[in-house]
Amino acid sequence: MTYIDSSAVARRNVKVLVAAQAILGSQMPISFVLGGLAGQYLSANPCWSTLPIALIVFGSMLTAPVMSSVMQKYGRRTGFVIGVLGGTIGAALAAAALWIGSFPLFLLGSIFTGIYMSAQGFFRFAATDMASEDYRPKAISWVMAGGLISAIIGPQIVKLTQGALDPIPFVGSYLAIIGLNAIGVLLFIFLDIPAPKKPGADAPTGRSRRELLREPQILVAMISAMVAYSLMNLVMTSTPLAVVGCGFETENAADIVSMHVLAMYIPSFFTGHLIARFGVERIIALGLVILAAAGGVALAGVELENFYIALILLGIGWNFGFIGGTSMLTSAHTEEERGRVQGMNDFAVFGMVTIASLSSGGLMNCSGGSPAEGWAAVNMAMIPFLMLAGGALIWFAIQGKKNIR
């Protein structure tokens, strides 16, 4: 494949993916704002209230390697359409589950929603398919910036639709997700990324997964993305429960999550430029420092301003850590290794996020104290993960960069 920085096709693809991130991506803030609250509404045991969110991520983890293989064989468009179908089925099952009061059916819907989440995760990689090496961080940043619009649309949809079918809460919001998918899937008509050519018998196959994991750059990139995403999810999953549990309203929780998602994506307008200027390792390290600051603010109190500031910092830290890890990864493999590396990466990332999502509910609701004490336990749990990622960066600096084969 020829990579041309100024290619009109590459830039058009980025525009399509930005729009897809904005419209289709709006369903993820809806799912994360309501997942824990709906779980609390349907489940007899509050300790399992965040299980729906954990299963969204679990579904994403399970399907990431499959989705990567599908895209490698049949092209990006096919994989993205499958993802939209999964999101539509997931929303329909969630709405039906709320209507009949079935927690198991709601959990099944969460797994299908994970199929969409997995496909959305590949938007950032698709942006690099037709881009030069220098343009890749910027392409990733622009696509991630599309989430800025979804950060506005998603929570506002929650506020407008959560009580549309009272006395049963949240059904209207999940029906709105079906509408978003019906509109957003049309965008992929304009996506122009050819499916990879079928390799010949004598074509290079690239390194095995075991060999790839021995590459320091790939390993550190994966650890950075895993930690940034899992910590963001750990804290964000519990935020609606903590906000409501500390005496505030669902609307307050939606506004806080909205500000958080804005903070996740606004930096994307310049993260690529910062990486190009200062180096990816420094930007990842800065992201880890900001994540630590988010935990510190959250531990300082449970007033609304603490929630707002902590979640804003959490979003910025995620942006630097996750985009930095993704940028590091895309320059560490060859074209024939692309599907293998990207599937392996997202399997690992969403596997860690699944654990974080499930742990979030347990720490929040089952730590034996008040909502404020549960919120403190969630934020204290960030410490070992930050130490892991920080140690990995230091190890990489000592090892030195190794060129891909």
Does residue 295 sit in helix, strand or coil?
Answer: helix
Domain assignment present for 405: no
Residue 319 has pLDDT above 60, yes or no: yes
Q: What is the pLDDT of residue 173?
A: 95
CATH of residue 214's domain is: 1.20.1250.20
Gyration radius (Cα) of the chain, Å? 20
Domain assignment present for 46: yes
Domain assignment present for 174: yes
Question: Rounded CA gap, 82 and 66, in Å?
Answer: 11
Structural domain range at position 44: 8-196+206-399
Domain assignment present for 24: yes
Question: Rounded CA gap, 9 and 403, in Å?
Answer: 29
Tell me, what amino acid is at 339? Answer: G
Average pLDDT over residues 170-184: 96
- Give the range among 59-68, 106-115, 285-294, 316-325 with minimum mean pLDDT: 59-68
Q: What is the pLDDT of residue 337?
A: 79
**One-letter-per-residue 3-state SS of 19-62:** HHHHHHHHHHHHHHHHHHHHHHHHCCCHHHCCHHHHHHHHHHHH
**How many separate domains does the chain show?**
1
Domain assignment present for 3: no
Tell me, what amino acid is at 295? Answer: G
Q: What is the pLDDT of residue 200?
A: 59
In the numeric block, the tokens 């919120």 are attached to 375
Domain assignment present for 264: yes
Non-local (6+) Cβ contacts of 129 within 8 A are 1, 13, 76, 193
Average pLDDT over residues 59-73: 89
Nearest to 178 by CA among 113, 224, 100: 113
Residues 32, 237: contact at Cβ < 8 Å? yes
Average pLDDT over residues 132-145: 80
Mean of all residue pLDDT scores within the chain:
87
Find the angle CA(79)-CA(85)-CA(86) to the nearest 5 degrees: 90
Q: What percent of the chain has pLDDT over 90?
A: 48
Residues 96, 40: contact at Cβ < 8 Å? no
Domain assignment present for 2: no
Continuous H helices in 300-370:
304-330, 338-365
Q: What is the DSSP letter of 200?
A: P
Average pLDDT over residues 37-54: 85
Question: Rounded CA gap, 302 and 292, in Å?
Answer: 17
Domain assignment present for 141: yes
Q: What is the pLDDT of residue 6?
A: 45
Q: Which of 9-18, 144-153, 206-215, 222-231 has the highest mean pLDDT?
A: 222-231
